[in-house]
Amino acid sequence: MLSQFQTIGSALFTQGLATSCSGNLSVRLGDHLLITRRGSMLGSIKEGDLVETYIDHNDQATPWASRELAVHRSIYKNTSTLAVVHAHPSYAVALSFVEKEIIPCDPEGKLVLPKVPILGIDQEVKVGCFIEEIAEALKQVKLVMVRGHGSFAAGQLLEEAYYYTSVLEHSCRLCYMLKVLGVKV
């Protein structure tokens, strides 16, 4: 399990989808979840950077878990998701400030993520907000954006949730470039 977290964490960091201490990863393990530790560096995850805690209640490990633990718990309680990737992809975050939803303009993006909802439009966004709204949205789509904050991708494996995150950022980069070039998308 550690090697899966290391592979995905490193990919998120090297691809610019998360900064040194931003973003978090988790997997469901029955009535538990394994989540990255608060403040861990995704680019160099070590065994001590993973925290196992309950999905439905706190225990002695809970204080060490990511600040987004409540969002991950809600996703696992309300969907059939087995893995979650929360990232801060720059182009997607930038577009979330000016769009109501993200509609990819490239073939892969259209196929994989035909429409990405953006939560928190015209609202102040803080870490841990929109907990229920994120879980509810992930019943219908594979990935959701929180305005100005980042993406939450749900999958059956960490690799799948990472894939959705990388497709989102690629699509957003293309949409951004087209907007800069004056092409209507």
Tell me the domain boundaries of the chain: 2-180
CATH number of the domain at 2-180, please? Answer: 3.40.225.10
Q: Summarize pLDDT for 5-54 with one digit per residue, the tens.
A: 999 999 999 999 998 888 999 999 999 999 999 999 999 999 999 999 99
**Which residues in the chain belong to E strands, given as ranges?**
24-29, 32-36, 50-54, 83-87, 101-102, 116-119, 143-146, 150-155
The predicted model scores a pTM of: 0.94
